[in-house]
């Protein structure tokens, strides 16, 4: 009994280990200001997207992908998914995504980082944006 109690004490700080990530667009451009961030394998990630754009056409989201080769597929499928789905298609490569943020809006999503270290892509799937609007989530111990 005593031995079990002592062992459990070792993991006491796990709850505070959440990566806080904030991403903004570059003005009214189809670009993320933060094109790279690093988290630990399996870490909880709270990603906040602040849409600081002012042009009505600059609606954005952040869609995180498990497969770097899925960028074109997801970006293209997003147009067919349409406004009703906030331009997020159903695709196995989508790890997490925010809702669509109009200019002036802030959205967020909390997810668990992949356990596999490596570089993961995130894109904005609003029609026409994903080719320019990309970033890299680096998962490293
Ligand atoms: Cu966008």
Residues 49-72 pLDDT 10s: 999 999 999 999 999 999 999 999
* Cα 121 versus chain centre, distance: 9
CA of 2 to the centre of ligand 1 (A): 55
Ligand 1 center–CA 32 separation, angstroms: 8
Helix H or strand E encompassing 111 = strand 106-112
Q: Determine the distance separating the centroid of ligand 1 and the alpha carbon of 22, expressed in angstroms.
A: 15
**133 C-alpha to ligand 1 centroid (Å):** 6
Instruction: Find the 125 Cα to ligand 1 centroid distance in Å.
Output: 6
Assign 22 to helix, strand or coil: strand
Apex 35 CA angle, 91 and 43, nearest 5? 65
How far is C-alpha 44 from the geometric centre of its chain's CA atoms?
12
Residue 11 pLDDT more than 60? no
Query: Ligand 1 (ion): which residues have CB within 5 A?
Result: 60, 124, 126, 129, 133
Mean pLDDT of 103-109: 98
* Rounded CA separation 50/119 (Å): 23
112 pLDDT more than 50: yes
What is the distance of C-alpha 42 from the center of its chain? 14
**Residue-level pLDDT at 16:** 60
């Amino acid at each position: 009994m005593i031995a079990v109690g002592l062992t459990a004490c070792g993991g006491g700080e796990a709850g505070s280990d959440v990566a806080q990530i904030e991403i903004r667009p570059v003005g009214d451009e189809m670009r993320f200001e933060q094109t790279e961030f690093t988290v630990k394998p399996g870490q909880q990630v709270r990603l906040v997207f602040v849409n600081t754009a002012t042009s009505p056409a600059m609606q954005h989201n952040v869609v995180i992908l498990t497969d770097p080769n899925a960028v074109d597929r997801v970006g293209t499928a997003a147009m067919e998914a349409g406004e009703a789905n906030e331009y997020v298609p159903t695709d196995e490569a989508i790890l997490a995504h925010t809702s669509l943020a109009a200019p002036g809006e802030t959205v967020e999503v909390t997810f668990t980082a992949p356990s596999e270290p490596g570089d993961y892509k995130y894109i904005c799937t609003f029609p026409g944006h994903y080719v320019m609007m990309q970033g890299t989530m680096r998962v490293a111990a």
